[in-house]
Amino acid sequence: MGNFPLVVDLTLNHIRLSIIPIVLGFLIAIPLGRLTLTGRFARGTVITAMSLLYTIPSLPLFVILPAILGTKVLSDTNLIVALTIYAVAIMVRATSDAFFSVSADTKQAATAMGFSAWRRFWQVEFPLAGPVMLAGLRVVSVSTIALVSVGVLIGSENLGYLFTNGKQRNNLEEVGVGIIATLLIALLFDLILVALGRILLPWVRVDRAARRRSKRTTALAPLAAGDSAVAGSEGRS
Amino acid sequence: MNLFVNAFAWIFDPQNWQPGGVSPLPIQDRLLEHLLYTAIAVVIAAAIALPLGFYIGHTGKGRQFVIGFTGAMRALPTLGVLFFLTMVLGSLVKGASGVFWGTIVALVILAIPSILAGAYAGLESVSRPAIDAARALGMTEMQILTRVEIPLALPLIIGGLRAGTLQVIATAVIASYAGLGGLGRIISSGIGLNDYDRILGGAILVTVFALLVDALFALVQRVTRVPGADNGDRGLRSRRRASRPETVVETPTRERNVTA
């Protein structure tokens, strides 16, 4: 029981080190994802760049960054920047898909109603892209929390400490506690994201219910499901 | 940039390639080890995940299992799993082979989800009419799988292998902390010695290695794409079509906004 305060400390730091890259990654991926809609060249460049960044293994990226950022090798900044890069790399694909998923008819309708490009983006495209973005964000959240622990190898204090310390002392329980605590944080974050989705994207549930109902009553289910995206946007505005 | 110059100088220093060097040297030995671990782990993982993915993709049974399993596996911290398994297997199998097989088991476990998801998603992407046509022609289920579904799904199947392989390469870097060889040894010994040239040199070597393997897979993926089949790219293509009429309408509307 004497180890409990240590585990709590490590957990809190682990959460802090996870939240920053998840939030930053999401914010950076929004404009980058929207950029991929502007043309084939933009899409190809952004997607290829992201997949190349994602190919760099974690520990090498952690130790390459000091040479670029001018930070110390054992600084948390390297970890946060590296995890943000990974978060952006995963998230851009999701935001790109999300903005592509918004129906062209809906966007045209918004433009016809006199929405400026800026207002149309924030009031029509962004909310309608929400469900797909949320799915991507959940992946980002889970993988970021799992990756933070590798940071212990460059001196970061997080739940990964239980892995290296447990290994040194040949204490299997300690490693096990670290794994379980990491999984619990991932689960907690996922529940929070799902709850946020329910609050911020209430029409998704209405959509799904409508789709289920229409599937039961008519053979034209795909048609009804296709329409419900538009119906959702009407409910919103 | 001077740091990078020094790191490349370290990589190309012939002394670091001399056979019989101290601990993490020579470089080519670590490179071969890394390649060996990766190959062993990916082959074993593929032998488990591909048949399972084909079965699930072909029959449609256990779809929820794949989605849940791949999601849950992503949450596992690789470092923890690696240490946990090397410790457990290390106590069962004494000596260096315990560490070796413990690491391989960990690498296999971490590679399975991507390969499984790729195989499943690949088969899922094959158009239903193509399968129905094959069945109407009198093909057996096995023939449908091997002659229709797998060839059409190949780019996505290889995509899964690609993701799994890169996951293994990245995790094998960390494996040096569990007592294994590989390119990670160069980085970890550099951190221990506080020798940044060596750290950065090792990191560049791993990155180039990963990028080369990735490029190789990308090439194979391109070659295996069946001409005319529209799986894999389908989403993109229909999206592009959907977004085209919008631009036609948008330009005049935007002009009106400016004048208003």
Span B72-124, pLDDT tens digits:
888 888 889 888 888 888 777 776 677 788 888 889 988 998 899 888 888 88
Q: How many Å lie between the alpha carbon of A132 and the closest alpha carbon of chain B? A: 14
Give the C-alpha separation, A193 to A195, whole Å.
Answer: 5
3-state helix, strand, coil in chain B (%, to 5): 85, 0, 15
pLDDT tens sequence across A28-58: 999 998 888 888 888 888 888 888 888 888 8
Q: Which position has the higher pLDDT, B208 or B30?
A: B208
Q: Work out the pLDDT band at A2, boundaries 50, 70, 90.
A: low
Q: Tokens at residue A79, please?
A: 């970890």
Residue type present at position A147: L
Give the C-alpha separation, A173 to A166, whole Å.
Answer: 8
Lowest mean pLDDT among A118-122, B118-122, B210-214, B254-258: B254-258
| pLDDT of amino acid B126 | 84
Residue type present at position A172: L
CB A60 within 8 A of CB B200: no
Classify A226 in phi/psi space as left (phi over 0), alpha (psi -120 to 50) or beta: alpha
Q: How many Å lie between the alpha carbon of A116 and the closest alpha carbon of chain B? A: 7
Q: Is B152 a residue whose pLDDT tops 60?
A: yes
Q: Which of B57, B171, B43 is nearest to B119 (CA)?
A: B57
Give the C-alpha separation, B129 to B132, whole Å.
Answer: 5
Residue in A with minimal Cα distance to B186: A60
B237 part of contact set with chain A, CB < 8 Å? no
**Binary contact (B246, A107; C-beta < 8 A):** yes
Kindly give the residue spans of alpha helices, DSSP state H, lying in chain A.
4-35, 40-55, 58-69, 76-101, 104-112, 117-120, 126-148, 160-168, 172-200, 202-217, 221-236
Q: Tokens at residue B5, please?
A: 């110059």
| pLDDT of amino acid B33 | 85
Residues of A in contact with B34 (CB under 8 A): none
Gyration radius (Cα) of chain B, Å: 24
| pLDDT of amino acid B243 | 37
Stretch A112-133: mean pLDDT = 88
Stretch B199-212: mean pLDDT = 89
pLDDT tens sequence across B4-29: 777 777 777 777 666 766 667 787 77
| pLDDT of amino acid B252 | 35
pTM: 0.80
If contacts are CB pairs under 8 Å, which of residues 136-165 in chain B contact chain A?
A: none
